[in-house]
Structure 1
């Protein structure tokens, strides 16, 4: 890696105050104490989907964010920022399928009792069949899973939940999503883990760290560190235009707003720009627009939206799990969180419970458009239907809607993304990072890593943030520290 230069005349503009945007600013300042990045965030809260929402003293985690990583630089930043505010949490999660609760990770006798000996034998035989005669291609999620788990287990535990989460046939979801999210798990490994108690699969870790006030605590404290060190995180500031001359970005137009209804648009110039907004939105605010084929490709990128109905129950401990996956097609809810199981401080009253009912949908769907009070009734009814609480115990609620929560890996995405990324790579002083900035369904730690590398590029490195090895985040056998920069020599 090229040595970092010691110029002190960089102005760095960062679009988005989520994990990637704030990490880019924090890491830049750590490497160059004279850096003063400016972050523009459209909403009134930092953290993006990793923010902590509040209502009547209760705190809500949107989607559930475990703080676990095998990236040493990410681990170091978490501890630098949070210090003693990190707590250790024991994981407890289950799957609800065909009116039964299955321990997750798999526990052998629990699984045998629920699914039955005969069906277990059929699963093993199906697994053997697919191992002997696997699908010769693995283009789709369905093909990838069947080759590793067999058709019968796919039918039981993968198909229904995947359809609920994404709203499309698993045949339409690309295999690279499965390879990224399910990692190195297989049926053989799952059975061995159940028998032996071993577990080296990242998605199934038994303990994880967590900020005591929810994931947003990490990003609120990061914001404070950035501003203490001379940077700025500007809230309620939406980027509505990205100005360019040929292949160089010259500035952005930012629309600021306040709760009184006042708005103002200002032009912000810069030497370097880091983006975290969704690629489809980014391409459509470029001025002048990119070539037609790039715009058309960006518009083919799709996203899955998400809403959570948080219920306050007059019952302190309705169930012990951190979260439960709901595979049943009889209810709309896909995942349920118990916020006290993440941290006692997420719940205001020790005599109540705070339960997050999570629904995956599109912002054009009937569910998204449903009135909040009707969503409360739906969530309460489904909680009782699942035997996890009583609708009559609900004493308060809050609905949180999150657009573009997950980039969709459909049959058109890869070709479209290649076109968009190819054009963005041609820009001289512009990088895009994070989940939506790369259109990659990565975890929080990988979003942070891409942002760290972008910050290092500003200081003279030559990382390709598009080619960051996702597996670095998950495999013991591939934990390699990046080249360490030489100290920056700041001019007094």
Structure 2
């Protein structure tokens, strides 16, 4: 997008910027505007929930803290890393990574450890995997339109069926042939079987998803976003909690104001109107289009309705034993259980667990809002989690002494056959606005990490302050293959090196 800054910014006048969403993207945009705006900008962030951080928030239950999904603070984007440390200072703890895969009754080290993998698979199956890999190197799929084709071409059909199919279909709830290759390129990046084996033999992990240690806020990722909120407020900005943006009033391709509903007092919901010079959105793009007043054109509404999401819930458990397993997280590929990933929160930070004699465990189940899992009672989900924990040999169901359930809607934008054309249609229309941008994971319907969400927000702020960038062309994951530099003022990001295809 090449959005010109308003005349007020260019002339040094005062600007008010309305920002929808208090997650990583929204708060980063506010912080960046204050940092670079030299007192000229007043950001007003509105957040519908009672917590900042979005999916990167930290939930708390009786003193036990839970990370929604597990958020490593690692990036090769220097400006993002500097921003994290600028806001949180030296409060980070350095955590060693330990993760495994559970498949066919066995635990595999991940990243791959060659002797562990060979021992679990056995020599015969290991030979078959290599033979399958050789076959697909000679006779690859000529087209890579879906996830199965993309992975098979790089790992072979046998390894795909072992380690990619079951977990991926559990996460997304659709066949691998219906998931676009874009998602594989984003999440797996430049890893191949040869590179994986070389990494396992040499101990070198140059792929971002396989890093061996990472930074982490001691009280969970929400500590970072709470610090951002405090900084924004201290510098004169606003962060209005429990305030939902329900309408976006526009005149043609200019946003005039947004309607806000303050539900902090359910018995007295206040409806107000926020007028501003510029607006940045980070709420789901589908909801953003639905909020347009007057309504968006029919073809834009139709494109938005094609976008889908995958939701998930976390069954957070307190056990009467300390740390039943040492991993930060375990991927569960086994179809015999519903859980897809299990977190051990003390392995993320000791401060997450107030009792040294207890364990704090997060069981993640992927679902769709309104389906059987989503609508199950908390008691039933906690009981199910206990049975599955025992089935996996990690603890006994009787070890559970307490628990709660956290439901997360619209956690993952789905990369199905309709999404790409729909996003292209929406982005072209949004680009026509002269004072409105949309950023972040759900604001752009892009399955990205915190650093990408932050970078799109940083560039949106800089656009408001007079620079030119194309935030729809930003793909931070190229930084895992080369040094990343944000475009200089006046230089479009589309002019920068185009190593954008492989992403996290």
User: Shared fold (TM-score greater than 0.5)?
Assistant: yes
Q: Deviations over 1:396-437 (max 9, x none)?
A: 101000000000000111111111111111111000000000
Within-5 A mapping of 1:434-445:
434-445=440-451
Match of 1:230 among 225, 236, 251: 236
1:84 is paired with a residue whose SS is: coil
Match of 1:24 among 12, 15, 29: 29
**Regions of 4+ moved over 6 Å:** 1-4
- Alignment of 1:303 with 2:299, yes or no, is no
- Alignment of 1:424 with 2:430, yes or no, is yes
Match of 2:264 in 1: 258
Match of 2:471 in 1: 465
Paired with 1:127 and 1:267, the residues of 2 have a C-alpha distance of 59
Paired with 1:368 and 1:280, the residues of 2 have a C-alpha distance of 21
Match of 1:488 in 2: none
Within-5 A mapping of 1:14-413:
14-34=19-39, 35-413=41-419
Paired with 2:390 and 2:11, the residues of 1 have a C-alpha distance of 62
How far the C-alpha of 1:258 sits from its partner, in A, is: 1.9
Contact 1:71 1:472 in 2 (8 A): no
Q: Report how many residues are paired.
A: 485
Structure 1: runs of 5 or more not aligned: 486-492
How far the C-alpha of 1:66 sits from its partner, in A, is: 0.3
How far the C-alpha of 1:6 sits from its partner, in A, is: 4.8
Contact 2:112 2:197 in 1 (8 A): yes
Match of 1:5 among 5, 10, 13: 10
1:11 is paired with a residue whose SS is: strand
TM-score for both structures, normalised by structure 2 = 0.94
1:37 is paired with a residue whose SS is: strand
How far the C-alpha of 1:484 sits from its partner, in A, is: 6.2
Contact 1:445 1:473 in 2 (8 A): no
Paired with 1:417 and 1:458, the residues of 2 have a C-alpha distance of 23
Structure 2: runs of 5 or more not aligned: 491-504
Paired with 2:120 and 2:395, the residues of 1 have a C-alpha distance of 22
Contact 2:53 2:222 in 1 (8 A): yes
Paired with 2:186 and 2:237, the residues of 1 have a C-alpha distance of 34
Paired with 1:158 and 1:194, the residues of 2 have a C-alpha distance of 18
TM-score for both structures, normalised by structure 1 = 0.97
Paired with 1:247 and 1:18, the residues of 2 have a C-alpha distance of 26
2:361 is paired with a residue whose SS is: strand
Paired with 1:472 and 1:157, the residues of 2 have a C-alpha distance of 25
2:90 is paired with a residue whose SS is: helix
Match of 2:500 in 1: none
Paired with 2:68 and 2:242, the residues of 1 have a C-alpha distance of 20
Q: Deviations over 1:221-254 (max 9, x none)?
A: 0000000000000000001100000110000000
Paired with 2:421 and 2:18, the residues of 1 have a C-alpha distance of 29
